Amino acid sequence: MTTAFDVASSRAQFPALAITDEGRPRVYFDNPAGTQVPQQVIGRTVECLTARNANLGGYFRTTVAAGEVVDLAHQACADFYNAASAAEIVFGQNMTTLTLHMSRCLGKRFRKGDEIVLSRMDHDANVAPWLLLAEDLGLVVRWMDFDTGTYEFPEDALTRVLGERTVLLAMGMASNCTGTVHDVKRFTAQAKAAGALVYLDAVQHAPHYAIDVQDLGADFVVSSAYKWFGPHQGILWGREDLLKETFGYKVRPAGEEPPHKFETGTLSHEGIAGTLGAIEYIEQFGTGGTRAKRIASAWDAMAGHEHRITQRLIEGLRGFRGLTIRGITSANAMHRRVPTVSFTLEGHHPQQMAQDFARDNIFVWSGHNYAIEPVTRMGLMDKGGVLRVGLAHYNTEAEVDALLSCLTRQIRNG
Ligand SMILES: Cc1ncc(COP(=O)(O)O)c(C=O)c1O
């Protein structure tokens, strides 16, 4: 059952949302680049640094306490991804670093001439690490291309490029540029049927919709807690048998078993504790007998609100002559996108617009936002990329209206 989502009670938990500058509120529409954090995250982080500040594996009180919070967070992240076991959760610095690392480890399985499939819709963090690996090993790179009219992958986007020697599909679950949510379950099934490993970038999906790795059928899913109301912390899920058999680049004294063989060096215990806090925050909005169920139902509740404000934003933007939304706009397709809305406006440079919004204390990003492939594919790389408005569950109708009014003023003032 989906519970009604109470935006006011969510906002009250974020100290950053109450900050004003010269009496003006801050409008956080920079969420795809990083979200604000609730008190629960701050509390967990501070408590870890105050009472649990020690390295892991000893006998005294603080080392035991640090180990406890790290274990709790492994389990919470397993619930967040609906993973079968906490041993499948690998903590790392961020998604990019985890992917650079895991791509090296997986590279031990690949041979010269093997093929990997990458996507033209992806953030560079799930492209460049594999391109570098391909260069090192002599792998052949094949590209899954999207339709620049619909901002979606055609039905046969993957089957067109899958071959007998395909060893990997690396793709995103949702785009940080167009906002499209991809049918990754279908593409995963196709790749697995061809015998390939599947590595999914969930960074932009995770702040908006539930992830069920047991249902998806992929091999790796990775995201970053700072995109979903937590601290700067990367979290990778990998199938336990695969983590066990995959070579881990590590120092000799580090454990041989997953997840430890991939968690190189001393972890950010405070980041991990804060991540636990973010999951506790999300969970409160859901119902159900298990934490995984509460998390899934919380995302459903938040999505209802997100879809309403996204539709309001899209309808408002469509009223501006010369403005092109670079993503899905249909009112009945809000579930096929995240609330990240990128657009271009004839005669207005994205960077200039971002500066004008900043003057009104409205925080947005402009440019390619590391989505090199899709921005190039849409022919926007030498035009300043896009202006990106990224909503989250704590944003409101009033904030959307403030952005639309600011845009009206920008156009009036030329
Ligand atoms: C879709 C996507 N993937 C990967 C990343 C990289 O994440 P991180 O900063 O955790 O390395 C981002 C960051 O914006 C992203 O949007």
Question: Ligand 1 centroid to 372 CA: how many Å?
Answer: 12
> What is the rounded CA–CA span in Å between residue 228 and residue 77?
12
Question: Ligand 1 centroid to 78 CA: how many Å?
Answer: 20
> What is the rounded CA–CA span in Å between residue 42 and residue 170?
34
Question: Ligand 1 centroid to 305 CA: how many Å?
Answer: 24
| Residues 145-163 as b or e (16 or more Cβ within 10 Å = b) | ebeeeebbbeeebbeebbe
Question: Ligand 1 centroid to 222 CA: how many Å?
Answer: 10
Domains of the chain, first to last = 7-37+300-409 (3.90.1150.10), 42-283 (3.40.640.10)
For residue 32, what are the contacts with CB-CB under 8 A and spacing of at least 6? Answer: 176, 204, 227, 338, 340, 365, 369, 388, 390
> Quick one: pLDDT at residue 414?
76
Q: Are 211 and 202 in contact (CB under 8 A)?
A: yes
- Which residues in the chain come in under a pLDDT of 50? none
For strands 115-119 and 166-172, give the pairing: parallel
In this structure, how many other beta carbons lie within 10 angstroms of the beta carbon of residue 167?
A: 19
> What is the rounded CA–CA span in Å between residue 308 and residue 331?
9
Mutate to test the pocket of ligand 1, among 370, 372, 386 (most ligand atoms within 8 A of CB): 370
Q: Does 268 sit in the ligand 1 pocket, CB within 6 Å?
A: no
Q: What is the pLDDT of residues 182-238, one digit of tens each?
A: 999 999 999 999 999 999 999 999 999 999 999 999 999 999 999 999 999 999 999
Closest C-alpha to 273, from 330, 315, 233, 310: 233
Closest C-alpha to 26, from 11, 9, 38: 11
The 8-class DSSP code of residue 287 comes to: -
Closest C-alpha to 52, from 71, 40, 66: 66
Q: Are 194 and 166 in contact (CB under 8 A)?
A: yes
Residue 161, classed as helix, strand or coil, is coil
Report the predicted TM-score, pTM, of the whole model to 2 decimal places. Answer: 0.98
Mutate to test the pocket of ligand 1, among 100, 122, 176, 220 (most ligand atoms within 8 A of CB): 176
Structure tokens given for 155: 């039905």
Question: Ligand 1 centroid to 178 CA: how many Å?
Answer: 14
> Quick one: pLDDT at residue 2?
58
